Amino acid sequence: MEKKKFIGFGEIMVRLATDGYLRFLQASNYNVNYTGAEANMAIALSYMGMPAAVVTKLPENDIGQCAKFMLSKFEVDTSFIKWGGERIGVYYLERGASQRPSKVIYDRKYSSFSEAEVDEFDWDKIFEDAGWFHFTGITAALSEKTQESCRLACIAAKRHGVPVSVDLNYRKSLWTPEKAQSVMKPLMQYVDICFANEEDAEKCLGEKADNSDVTQGQLSIEAYANLAKRLTENFGFKKVAISLRESISASINKWSGMLYSGGQAYLAPKYVMNIVDRVGGGDSFASGLIYACMNGWTDQEAINFATAASCLKHSIEFDFNISSVSEVVNLINGDGSGRVQR
C-alpha cells in the first residue's frame, strides 16, 4: 500500500550561524543553511522514509532556489511551492555554551511567505494524497494572511479526512499572548494532536502547568499530565504531546516527553544530552511522533520514538534531524554509548 504524504505549511528561512560558539560581536563570517519548523519536520520524515511535502512561498531568485534545493536534496516534494514576493526571511544564531544561552535574532518582516495571498494555495489539490497536515503557531503569527490560510487549510484537511497537528511554538518576538490566544484558540477545533511545552500552552491557549519552572529546570510530571488532560477536555484534542526539558546549562539538558492519549499519560525514558545544536529539537520531537502515528504504532512506542529521535537531533548540526529509523530504535533499545560503529 502506498504511503500517504505528510504536508507541512510554513515559512522557509535562511539560517546564518556564527562559527562554533563565537558571539555575534566576534563573527567575521556565517554558516548558511535553510530551515523552518515545518520544513525541518518534512526533511526528518522524508529521511525516515515517509513521503513529505512543504507548502510555502519563496522569492523567485537564487536564494529562493537554494532553499528549494535543500528540500529536494532530502527528497521532499517541492511542487506546492509558490514563487514571488520580495525576500526570504532570515534568522541569525549565536549558539550558547555552559551558562551562556543561545541567542536568535529574526529578520523576516515582509517575507514572501508572510505576504502570500490566501487564494494562492489550492488546498483541495494539496490534500489529494495527503495523510497528515501540520502547521505551527509561528506560521499563524506571521500575518493576517497566514492566519486565514491556516484556517482554510485546516478546514480542507478535515474535508479530506486528513489528521491535523499543531505545534503551538509561541514566539514573543512575533505576537503577544493576547493576540496568540485570539488566533490560536479558534483553530484548535480542527486539531487532532497538539504539541506543546509549558510556555506554549500558557501563552497560546491560556492553560498553565502548575508547580513547574522552566527557567529553574523544575518539572512536575503530575502537573504536565493534568495540563494535558485539561487541554484535551477544553479543546477536544485526541492526543497531547509535551516535551520535557530540564536545562542544567546551555550545554547539558535532560530530555524526555509525555503523550496524553485516551485518558492516560505515557512517559518516555529520560536522556542526558551534551548539546551540539539545540535549534529544531522540538521539530524533531514532533516529526518522530508523527512518524509513529502514521505507521500505526502504540502510544508508548510513539512517545519513546519521538523522544529518542529528538535526543539524537541535539547531537546534529543545523535545525533538522537526519537520523534513520534504525538509529532511533537502537537508542530506544539502550545503545546510547556513542561508541564508534564499524
pLDDT tens, position by position, 164-219: 999 999 999 899 999 999 999 999 999 999 999 889 999 999 998 876 555 555 57
Three cell numbers written together for 56: 510555502
Residue 131 has pLDDT above 70, yes or no: yes
Q: Which distant-in-sequence residues (6+ apart) come within 8 Å of 241 by Cβ?
A: 193, 194, 195, 196, 257, 258, 259, 260, 285, 286, 289, 303, 306
> Span 24-45, mean pLDDT?
97
Specify burial of residue 185 (Cβ count, 10 A radius: 0-12, 13-18, 19+).
middle
- DSSP-derived pairing of the beta strands 57-58 and 52-55: unpaired
In a domain, residue 273? The reply is: no
- Determine the pLDDT at residue 307: 98
pLDDT above 90 covers what percent of the chain? Answer: 90
In a domain, residue 129? The reply is: yes
Residue 342 has pLDDT above 60, yes or no: no
In a domain, residue 290? The reply is: no
pLDDT tens, position by position, 308-321: 999 999 999 999 99
> Span 320-330, mean pLDDT?
97
Residue 282 has pLDDT above 80, yes or no: yes
- Determine the pLDDT at residue 220: 80
Please check whether residue 289 is in contact with residue 247, taking contact to mean a CB–CB distance below 8 angstroms. no
pLDDT tens, position by position, 284-296: 999 999 999 999 9
Instruction: Identify the residue with better confidence: 52 or 340.
Output: 52
Task: Write out the DSSP string of 270-326.
Answer: PEEEE-S--TTHHHHHHHHHHHHHHTT--HHHHHHHHHHHHHHHTTSSSSS----HH
In a domain, residue 313? The reply is: no
- Determine the pLDDT at residue 1: 60
- Determine the pLDDT at residue 338: 59
- Determine the pLDDT at residue 221: 86
Provide the β-strand partners of residue 334.
none
Confidence at 341, pLDDT banded by 50, 70, 90: low
Distances (CA, A) of 205 to 71, 223, 267: 32, 16, 23
Residue 28 has pLDDT above 50, yes or no: yes
- Determine the pLDDT at residue 337: 61
> Span 223-244, mean pLDDT?
96
The whole domain housing 190 covers 5-240
> Span 87-103, mean pLDDT?
95
> Span 140-152, mean pLDDT?
98
In a domain, residue 40? The reply is: yes
Please check whether residue 279 is in contact with residue 265, taking contact to mean a CB–CB distance below 8 angstroms. no
In a domain, residue 262? The reply is: no
pTM (two decimals): 0.94
- Determine the pLDDT at residue 123: 98
In a domain, residue 267? The reply is: no
In a domain, residue 91? The reply is: yes
Domain count, the chain: 1
Alpha carbon distance 305, 296 (integer Å)? 13
If you average pLDDT over every residue of the chain, what do you get?
A: 94
For the domain that residue 220 is a member of, what is the CATH number?
Answer: 3.40.1190.20
